[in-house]
C-alpha cells in the first residue's frame, strides 16, 4: 500500500529522487515477497491469492509481467473459490487489459450467473461486448444493468447514456 501510494504520488507530481525511487522499488519487492510467502504458507487461502493478485494488479503498466502474474493469481483464487463473483470481475478486467476479450466475457458471464443481481457484472459484460463489436449483446447486457441500479442515479445515467449511444449505432 505504501509503495503504491508513493508511486501514485510520484506519478501525479514531480519526478522522484533516486533515493525515493529505490525506496519505492524496495517496498514493491517487499510487498510481493510477503504476499508470495502467504500463498506458500497457506496455499488454499483464497485471500492470500487475491491479495497477491491485487498487488500485481496495482503494478499494471509499471512492472513487466504484472498482467500475467495478476491473472495467474486471480485464476488460482477463482479455483479456490469458484462461486465468488468479485474474483471473476477482477479476472475479467485483467483479461480485458490483456486483450483476451472472450476470456473476459466468460468471467463476466460467470459473475452474472453467480449473482444475478450484480449490476457490475452486466455492465462489464456490456463493455466487453462493445470491444468485441457485438452491439446486440452489449445492448442486452446494458438493459439488464439498468434493471439492477436505482433509476436516476449517476450510475443509471451513465449506463443509460451508453445504451442510447449503442442503439443509435445499431
pLDDT, one tens digit per residue, over 41-50 is 999 999 999 9
CB 134 within 8 A of CB 158: no
3 state DSSP class of 106: helix
Residue 137 CA to residue 129 CA, distance in Å, equals 6
| Helix, strand, coil percent content, the chain, rounded in steps of 5 | 80, 0, 20
pLDDT, one tens digit per residue, over 135-159 is 999 999 999 999 999 999 999 999 9
Residue 127 φ then ψ, to 5°: -65, -35
Amino acid at each position: 500500500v505504501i509503495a503504491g501510494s508513493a508511486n501514485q504520488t510520484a506519478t501525479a507530481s514531480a519526478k522522484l529522487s533516486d533515493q525515493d525511487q529505490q525506496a519505492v522499488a524496495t517496498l514493491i519487492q517487499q510487498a510481493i515477497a510477503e504476499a508470495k510467502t502467504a500463498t506458500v504458507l497457506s496455499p488454499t487461502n483464497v485471500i492470500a491469492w487475491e491479495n497477491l493478485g491485487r498487488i500485481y494488479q496495482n503494478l499494471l503498466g509499471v512492472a513487466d509481467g504484472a498482467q500475467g502474474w495478476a491473472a495467474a493469481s486471480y485464476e488460482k483464487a477463482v479455483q479456490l473459490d469458484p462461486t465468488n463473483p468479485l474474483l471473476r470481475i477482477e479476472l475479467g478486467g485483467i483479461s480485458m487489459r490483456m486483450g483476451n476479450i472472450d476470456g473476459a466475457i466468460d468471467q463476466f458471464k460467470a459473475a452474472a450467473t453467480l449473482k444475478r443481481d450484480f449490476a457490475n457484472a452486466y455492465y462489464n459484460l456490456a463493455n466487453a461486448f462493445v470491444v468485441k463489436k457485438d452491439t446486440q449483446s452489449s445492448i442486452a447486457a446494458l438493459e439488464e444493468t439498468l434493471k439492477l441500479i436505482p433509476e436516476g442515479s449517476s450510475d443509471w445515467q451513465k449506463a443509460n447514456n451508453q445504451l442510447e449511444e449503442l442503439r443509435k449505432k445499431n
